[in-house]
Amino acid sequence: MATWSTQPPSYVEGQDATSCQYHAVDFLYGDNFAIYPWVGTSPDMRERQLEAMNNSEISPYLGFALDTTTVQNEITAVSNVIAEYKFALEYGTIDPGTELPKFIERLDESGAQKIIDQAQRQLDEWLAQQN
């Protein structure tokens, strides 16, 4: 039968973050507050995280969902333009000085502004209903 250690997790003797290829990534666990912080981390880290979460500002946009029904064609067209330029721009295989303006122009031609305008209109209406 497995037993749980009450010791904070740490690297094996002689290893540290610069020499070891593994580390427990806290976000993989369902409840980060139920696991010990790693050796070298502040013992009150979890309490400070919880305090920060409890005192964080809630976005006034929480709960808004965009209805994309009227802009489906534009979303498809913009998505196609993004797919065409995405990797070349990200990996630097094209000159952004000349190609980025072309990319932006293609986005505009594909209806990006119509999507933005529709989203802003719906958001404004939704916010007005919340007050």
50 and 82 fall within a common domain: no
User: What CA–CA distance (Å, rounded) separates 22 from 77?
Assistant: 43
> CA-based angle 17:18:23, to the nearest 5?
30
Could you tell me which residue, 52 or 131, shows the higher pLDDT? 52
45 and 87 fall within a common domain: no
pLDDT of residue 82 exceeding 50: yes
Instruction: List, for residues 8-55, the tens digit of each pLDDT value.
Output: 677 778 887 788 776 666 667 778 787 777 777 788 888 998 999 999
> 118: domain range?
69-130
pLDDT of residue 24: 61
Mean pLDDT of the chain: 88
Query: Which pTM does this prediction carry?
Result: 0.66
90 and 114 fall within a common domain: yes
Instruction: List, for residues 2-20, the tens digit of each pLDDT value.
Output: 455 566 677 778 887 788 7
Under 8 Å between Cβ of 112 and 78: yes
